[in-house]
Every structure is written in C-alpha cells, then in structure tokens.
Amino acid sequence: MIDDTPLDVRLRMAAIAHIGALVLRHGEMIPRATLMAGFGFAGERIPLISAQRGIYIPGFLRKNHLPEIPISFTTTPPKAGKPRPYEDSWSGNGDLLQYKYFGTDPGHRDNVGMRMAISAATPLIYFFGVKEGYYRADWPVFIIADNPLKLEFTVSVTKSASEPAGQLYSSETEFTREATLRLAKNRPYQRTFRQRVLLAYRQACCVCQLKHDELLDAAHIIPDSDPRGEPWVHNGLALCKIHHAAFDAQIMAIKPESFIIEIRDDVLREHDGPMLTHGLQALHQRVRAVVPTDAQLQPKKEFLAERYQEFLRRAG
C-alpha cells in the first residue's frame, strides 16, 4: 500500500516518535548531543535542535520545497553566573508559554516559520534547557498567537485537537485532523506540569532553595486524584524530595496568607540528628516559602488553606 501522507507530515511524525523514544531511554533529562544526533529520515540525518539558534527549521524542508515551519524550538539553559539570553515565561494558568522572537525582526525566517505554524496549526516540540547540556522535552505544543509589539509568540502546552483555541486547526491541513489527534490523544499532562512548575519557581525548592534538578519535584497541593487537582501551576509547589515528602505526610505545611512554613508539633519535639534539626525543625515559623512573583502562578490560597486545615487536624 502506497503511503500518500505528505512528506513534511511524515517528517514531523518521525520527529515526535523519536523524541518519545528518547524520553523512554533517557528520562526527562535528554543530553544535547543526543538531540543534535537526531534521527534518520528519507536517507538523511535530521537533528532535533539547531546548533546555533533556538528555533529550528530543518534544511530538509527547503531542499524539498516544503513549508519552512520549525519542528522544534528551545529555551536555552542558563550558564553559571549569566541570565538566559531570552526570558521566556509562563502565563494564564501556567499552560501558556510566552516565547520570545529570534532577534527583533518579525520578518526573520525563524519568526515567519513560527507564524506559519499558527495558520497551519502545526504541532511542534519544545525543549527547555534545564542545565548546560541537558534538555526536557514537551510535545506536541502549538503556537496559538503572535505579538509583534512584545516580540513574542504564545504557545499552548495543553491544547489538543479536541480543544481548539480560536481557529486552531485549518481544514486544509490533514496533519491536524488525523495525525495530531493521534499524537495528542494520550498527552502526558503530568510531564508538562513538572516542567511548568519548576520553571515558574526558577528551578529551586520553594522551602530550602535547593537547585539540583534531579532532587526537585512538582508537588500537587490538591492531589491529582481529586477532580480539582488539575495540573496548573497554581496547584503546584516546587519542592525538593525531602520537603515534598514532608508536605505530603502533613509533617510540614505552608500558611496560605503568609506562606510561612510550619512543622507539626510532635516532630518539633523529636531528637533525631542534624537532618531533622536543620532540614525541618529550624524552618518552623522562621522561613517563608519563595513563590512566583506573578500572582497567577502563585499557589492558590484556598488550596493551601485546605491543606493547612488538614495539617492542623493531624497535629491536633
């Protein structure tokens, strides 16, 4: 049977299938060298990211006279002592990424390609640089708006084919009617939840400010088993594994109005070495959780209040 799927659609499907395989192999932290090595397609080697720029449009597309729409875009990892070159940020409920243009020219080829992805409703791959040499992947994501005045695009990381944002899918694009629906159908929302929470909290535990990514979690305030426990940033806290476990076990709580840390009374009376003394007891009513400055991304106070009441009942 002849495969009549357009060549550019097959390229994107291959890219998304390959990144899924890489995540299974490497986990969330994918080495840059692996992304640069890419995958084989139509007799060529196609990298997943650009060696020079954040927005990646494979030369394969121009060579084969195909629409020059990126297959991926990247937020550059920080370098020691230096800010990221582009300050990408989250908005809405933490499900919309404000992604900066390449440079300041709206007519630059990379920015034009991102704009074309809006009208064609093309699914892309987003790579977030966690630390130098390592990236976390999110897919499929969709460019849904363009703001030339702010020199940025709005990217939805939770839209699927059944949840259009305006005219998200064009009737001319077979990819969005069939292939995208298959790719987005079983979207792993919790993967994107962790990414968005950690970015909002600047890759640090909100209690102790530990910044080692492998030791950080995105903790739900209202558990995801609860119908209200949706994967929005305002239902999350960036916590190291010790403080995540303490929060879940009702050993530690965060006061909803002040964000002051409290430790349960019986734990305060225990004697069990320096980890308990400095890691938990020393926090009690002395440390304030560091939360995002954007009010929309801060933990929802009614959710914290509910958890705090549970903490008080457990303490009583």
Question: What mean pLDDT comes out for the span 64-85?
Answer: 84
Confidence band for 241, pLDDT divided at 50, 70 and 90? very high
Q: Is the pLDDT of residue 65 over 90?
A: yes
Round to whole Å and give the CA distance between 64 and 43: 13
Round to whole Å and give the CA distance between 314 and 316: 5
Domain residue limits, the chain: 7-187, 203-315
Q: List, for residues 134-191, the tens digit of each pLDDT value.
A: 898 888 889 999 999 999 999 987 654 333 333 332 333 344 334 444 444 444 445 5
pLDDT greater at residue 194 or residue 236: 236
Q: What is the pTM (predicted TM-score) of this model?
A: 0.65
Quick one: tokens of 263? 């430790």
Q: State whether residue 304 is helix, strand or coil.
A: helix
Q: Are 147 and 153 in contact (CB under 8 A)?
A: yes
Amino acid letter, 303: F
Round to whole Å and give the CA distance between 308 and 221: 10
Quick one: tokens of 217? 């979690």
Round to whole Å and give the CA distance between 224 and 220: 7
Mean pLDDT value across the chain = 84
Strand 124-131 to 72-75 pairing: parallel
Round to whole Å and give the CA distance between 130 and 186: 25
Q: List, for residues 267-308, the tens digit of each pLDDT value.
A: 999 988 888 999 999 999 999 999 988 888 899 999 999 999
Q: State whether residue 140 is helix, strand or coil.
A: strand
pLDDT at res. 166: 31
Residues across the chain: 316
Confidence band for 23, pLDDT divided at 50, 70 and 90? confident
pLDDT at res. 228: 82
- CA–CA distance from 148 to each of 107, 186, 313 (Å)? 10, 33, 52
Question: What mean pLDDT comes out for the span 76-89?
Answer: 70
Q: Residue 126: exposed, middle, or buried by beta-carbon count in 10 A (0-12, 13-18, 19+)? A: buried
Nearest to 99 by CA among 157, 30, 166, 158: 157
Confidence band for 218, pLDDT divided at 50, 70 and 90? very high
Nearest to 35 by CA among 67, 58, 4, 60: 58
Q: Are 251 and 263 in contact (CB under 8 A)?
A: yes
The answer to whether the Cα torsion of 202, 206, 209, 213 is positive or negative is negative
Which of 49-53, 71-75, 178-182 is least confident? 178-182
pLDDT at res. 245: 96
Which of 32-46, 85-99, 289-303 is least confident? 85-99
Round to whole Å and give the CA distance between 157 and 92: 11
Q: Are 126 and 137 in contact (CB under 8 A)?
A: yes
Q: Are 231 and 192 in contact (CB under 8 A)?
A: yes
Which percentage of the chain shows pLDDT scores above 90?
A: 55
Strands (E), 47-175: 55-56, 72-75, 89-91, 96-100, 124-131, 134-147, 152-156
pLDDT at res. 199: 79
Quick one: tokens of 63? 């060579």
Amino acid letter, 109: R
Nearest to 18 by CA among 72, 67, 68: 72
